[in-house]
A = this chain, B = another copy of it.
Amino acid sequence: MAELRPTILLVEDEPEIRRFLRTSLGSEGFRVVESATGRRGSIDAATHKPDVAIVDLGLPDMDGIAVISNIRSWSPMPIIVLSARVLERGKIEAFEAGADDYVTKPFGIGELVARIRVALRHAVRLRNGERVLLLDDASIDLEKRRVLRGGAEIRLTPIEFRLVAVLARHAGRVVTHRQLLREVWGPTHENDTHYLRIYVKQLRDKLESDPANPRHFVTELGVGYRLELAE
């Protein structure tokens, strides 16, 4: 019969961390497949088709970024990055390569499990290719290009709409400043992160129930923004 537990691929070279995660995640009800190198990780991702991949950035043979790009070239599976570096530009590179989330060592197992659960939820949503996004308070119909909030229609300007559209396409995943700017304003404005602050605020004002404490348009400090949909 089919395996019911979600499968997690763990690409990590340090044996102690592997052992630690094997037992912790196992007791949380996950099935764990381990790869000690980037090369094996890329292969195991294809053969085991895990529900989530956890990739350490500090791999010996192959850069973790390469593993991410590799997986992302053929699969939309959620990828969570594990890294010791705190404010490294590796973080941004990881997101641009297609990572979904990022956990810095040392990390609490509770935090990691929570992020895995979030990633699994998103994956389910992605599979039905929903074209109507639900926020707590509002709904966004990408096809009809319409936004409703409490029954009333909200007007979005062209740029505002393009911005939600890009964020929505990567819903639940961080989109870097550069990516957003490139897709909305074009490659010539890749450095005008200022625009983002302005327009994200406008979207919050229009779509968040409490714009001062955004629950959906989440800022990832130093990296970019993430659109979190309703449960």
Interface hits, A139-198 → B, CB 8 Å: 143-145, 157-158, 172-174
Contact of A158 among B143, B145, B172, B222 (CB under 8 A): B222
Query: Does A220 sit at the interface, judged by CB under 8 A?
Result: yes
Q: Is the CB of A144 within 8 A of B158?
A: no
**In the complex, what residues of B have CB within 8 A of residue A158's CB?**
221-223
Cα A141 to Cα B192 in complex, Å, equals 29
How many residues on A have C-beta within 8 angstroms of the other chain's C-beta atoms? 12
Least CB distance, A199 to chain B, in whole angstroms: 14
Closest to A174 in B: B145
Cα A78 to Cα B222 in complex, Å, equals 35
Interface hits, A101-148 → B, CB 8 Å: 143-145
Contact of A145 among B143, B144, B223 (CB under 8 A): B223
**In the complex, what residues of B have CB within 8 A of residue A223's CB?**
145, 158
Contact of A174 among B144, B220, B221 (CB under 8 A): B144
Q: Is the CB of B173 within 8 A of A145?
A: yes
Cα A220 to Cα B143 in complex, Å, equals 14
Cα A220 to Cα B144 in complex, Å, equals 11
Closest to A172 in B: B144
Q: Is the CB of B221 within 8 A of A157?
A: yes
Q: Is the CB of A173 within 8 A of B144?
A: yes
Q: Is the CB of A143 within 8 A of B173?
A: yes
Least CB distance, A20 to chain B, in whole angstroms: 21
Least CB distance, A221 to chain B, in whole angstroms: 7
Closest to A224 in B: B145
Least CB distance, A186 to chain B, in whole angstroms: 15
**In the complex, what residues of B have CB within 8 A of residue A144's CB?**
172-174
Cα A172 to Cα B153 in complex, Å, equals 13
Least CB distance, A100 to chain B, in whole angstroms: 12
- List 13 A–B pairs whose Cβ atoms lie within 8 Å, in order of A's numbering: A143-B173, A144-B172, A144-B173, A144-B174, A145-B173, A145-B174, A145-B220, A145-B223, A157-B221, A157-B222, A158-B221, A158-B222, A158-B223
Known: A145-B174, A145-B223. 10 other contacts (CB 8 A): A143-B173, A144-B172, A144-B173, A144-B174, A145-B220, A157-B221, A157-B222, A158-B221, A158-B222, A158-B223
